[in-house]
Amino acid sequence: MIKFMKGFLINLQFFTALPIPLELPMDKEHLRKAVQAFPLLGLFQGIIYSCLFYVFHEFTPFSHLAVAFMLWLATILVTGGIHLDGWMDASDAYFSYQDPEKRLEIMKDPRTGAFGVLSIIVLLGCKFLFIYESTLNVEQATYFFIAAIPFLSKSVMGVLLLTIKSAKNNGLGSLFQSAAKPRVLWIYPVYLMSFLFLVLLISKDYFLVGLLILTAVCCLFLCRRKAVKWFGGITGDVLGASVEGTELILWMTVWLLHYFVMG
């Protein structure tokens, strides 16, 4: 249990901007536990977002536009933009229309190209639209959606990490991949069923969360196929881009549910 907690703290150090002033062990056992805790990292982030949204929505005089902006901004600040960096690097590489090896070289370049800048503008602009309109009519399900999105995206990240070959032998993705095998993913369905059961106990909108889970599964298969086709495998940047892309599609799903199901 202690190793698992340390693995969770490793995730906080690597994938968030939250200050964790501890020197944590980076051996294979602790990194393996960190991979198993990826979904819990996402759930932790989602709970932070939901609580922030609840406080600003219920206890401040701010307009809905301002509250939506606070939620949108929190998704950037809490992660420190680490996955956004991967999105930009992967976008620069993809839009070069080169072979996978050349794309990997482009992702190593610390400079950001025009396609990376344009892609981040489109991503953040679309996400803000989806967040703003999806939270216009706040219901109980809204808070579950906010918590579920990073939970599911981090679950997708973990599965991609351990089920796709690494495209290079160094970097953050390779570090975590070398420490764990696909069999450690057995705990992910346990997390998923536990979350769905909790929603079932509290809310009548559990079937909407089920649709969100189904969408995340579709994102998983799409990312698996494109990662191999476009980049020859997985890298830290590709994982980051997959997290951002999955969250964007999940927010779009909530946006569509808001119009056609919940409206």
In a domain, 20, yes or no: no
Q: For residue 10, is it within any domain?
A: no
- The string of pLDDT tens digits covering residues 78-111 is 999 999 999 999 999 999 889 989 998 888 888 8
Tell me whether residue 148 is in a domain: yes
Q: How confident is the model at residue 263 (pLDDT cuts 50, 70, 90)?
A: low
**Domain housing 198:** 29-260
Q: Would residue 115 count as lying in a domain?
A: yes
Residue 4: inside a domain: no
Residue 211 lies in a domain: yes
* pTM exceeds 0.85, yes or no: yes
Into how many domains does the chain fold?
Answer: 1
Instruction: Classify residue 124: in a domain, yes or no.
Output: yes
pLDDT tens across 130-188, in order? 999 999 988 888 999 999 999 999 999 999 999 998 887 776 677 788 778 889 999 99
**Within a domain: residue 15?**
no
pLDDT value of position 9: 94
DSSP string, the chain: -HHHHHHHHHHHHHH--S--------SHHHHHHHHHTHHHHHHHHHHHHHHHHHHHHHHS---HHHHHHHHHHHHHHTTTTHHHHHHHHHHHHHTTT--HHHHHHHHH-SS--HHHHHHHHHHHHHHHHHHHHHTSS--HHHHHHHHHHHHHHHHHHHHHHHHS-BSSSSSHHHHHHTT--GGGGGHHHHHHHHHHHHHHHH-TTHHHHHHHHHHHHHHHHHHHHHHHHHHSSB-HHHHHHHHHHHHHHHHHHHHHHHHHT--
Residues 234-261, mean pLDDT to the nearest whole number: 94
